[in-house]
Amino acid sequence: MSTVAMITARGLFGRRRALMLLPLPLLLIGLAAICRAYDLDPSQWGTAVITGLGFAVVLPVIALIVGTGVLGSEVDDGTLVHILTKPLARRDIILAKFVVAVVATAVTTSIPLFVAGLLAGSAKLGVALALAAVAGSFAYTAFFLMLSLLTRRPVLLGLVYILIWEGLLGRWVSGTRVLSIEQYVISIAAKLEPTTLLDPKVGVMTAVVMSVLFVVVCTVIAINRLGSFSLAGETS
């Protein structure tokens, strides 16, 4: 399992994909720093930067890049066959790649969100945003890792989920929020550090339970899906 994790991490950070992880976090920090430098009141920019950019764009897009990248490219180019020839349980392969994806996503997103929270309010707000980002990293990466095994267009479907389900329906159709990871993250952050900059739409208990369900269900589906792959690279 550790060998798979090391190979996955080396492949993830050794490709151009790693460079794709930097612009959005830097943009988030840059916008927060500019607003702070001009001495703007956080009530004027905090919600737009933290929720509108941090939670709605930076966290899910980074998770999409990482979650679909740790295994999706191996499915497409056929190198998955080499992994399947190893004497490893399918569960161990998925869990190793999931752990790498979560760590990469959490580190890349929690740091800029902490900085944004620090500039917008206090260190306590920064910590709350960072912890919420870590929780969201688990749910998002599990979901996108699953998509990479279920379809050949995981990035496209992931963007549909981020832009349409969360970005459009999640804001205007209340019934869809229960399946919105973005709403879970906002609720968790608001519970950890109540602030007018965050406007949670679902209860914190719902957010926690649904986040855990996302992780468990998506991971189980991914393990079962990988188990259906034959050494020819096809599903049985």
- Residue 79: phi, psi to the nearest 5? -70, -10
In 3D space, the residue among 162, 221, 171 whose CA is nearest the CA of residue 24 turns out to be: 162
Contact 185, 170 (CB under 8 A): no
pLDDT of residue 12: 72
Ordered by start, the domain boundaries in the chain are: 3-227
User: Would you tell me the crossing angle of helices 123-150 and 90-120 to the nearest 10 degrees?
Assistant: 150
pLDDT of residue 44: 94
Which pTM value belongs to this model? 0.91
pLDDT of residue 121: 85
Burial class (CB in 10 A: 0-12, 13-18, 19+), 86: exposed
In 3D space, the residue among 133, 146, 222, 145 whose CA is nearest the CA of residue 181 turns out to be: 133
Contact 210, 160 (CB under 8 A): no
List the chain pLDDT tens, one digit each, 236 residues: 566 677 677 667 665 666 788 999 999 999 999 999 999 999 999 999 999 999 999 999 999 999 998 876 566 555 666 666 666 788 888 998 999 999 999 999 999 999 999 999 899 999 999 999 999 999 999 999 999 889 889 999 999 999 999 999 988 888 899 999 999 999 999 999 999 999 999 999 999 999 999 999 999 999 998 877 655 445 54
Contact 95, 114 (CB under 8 A): no
Rounded CA-CA distance 197/48 in Å is 9
CA 158 to the chain's CA centroid: 11
Q: How far is CA 87 from CA 3, 16, 76, 84, 92, in A?
A: 12, 30, 22, 8, 10
* Interacting residues of 87 by C-beta distance below 8 A, sequence separation 6+: none
